[in-house]
Amino acid sequence: MPNLISLSTELGPQLIDMALLTGAAPANSPVFVTQVTMPDGVVYPTVPPTTGQVIVATSPTVAAWQTPGGGGGATKTVRSGITSFTQGGVVGPITLSFATPFADNNYTVSVTVIGDETAPGTPTITQFPSVGVSYVKLQASGAGVVVWVANNDSIAHSGIVSVIGIHD
């Protein structure tokens, strides 16, 4: 059985010609460097990922390329259709579910309201933003969010509620 040889390099994947000291393989046989240990002690792969793979910590000191399971990976998005926001009030609940839920509720969301109309006049400090996210609640089992939107203006507005979820 050939001995394993550990190589340190600051270069990416490369082909190294070397003679194995064990004699188990012919001299000058090619060897691929498939991982590198960084100064912080973490081992990273040097081979490129396949389409859709992300780098994942498989232990405190090892990282590897993996294809996310569950159809969607670490980031998910969802948006509402055009929604009307009544003047001087709060609209909700607006339930937005991811096409494929996260495995759990350990994720962070960013929720925004994107206006679907021409900007309404010149906003003042007391009325800007006219429409905005008032409250967000995570659905059970990583399914998505429930959103309430406040309209501080004296007229109704419409827009789209957009959600980005990133698993922690």
**What is the per-residue pLDDT across 2-40, written as a single tens digit (0 to 9) for each?**
434 444 444 433 333 332 333 344 555 555 567 888 888
Q: With a threshold of 0.75, does the pTM exceed it?
A: no
130 and 50, same domain (yes or no): no
83 and 161, same domain (yes or no): yes
Rounded to the nearest 5°, which phi and psi values hold at 62? -135, 135
**Do residues 41 and 61 touch, judged by C-beta distance below 8 A?**
yes
96 and 47, same domain (yes or no): no
Number of domains in the chain: 2
Range of the domain at 101: 75-167
62 and 84, same domain (yes or no): no
Q: Is residue 92 part of a domain?
A: yes
CA distance 73 to 82: 27
CA distance 36 to 43: 6
152 and 114, same domain (yes or no): yes
The average pLDDT across 116-128 equals: 59
CA distance 13 to 46: 5
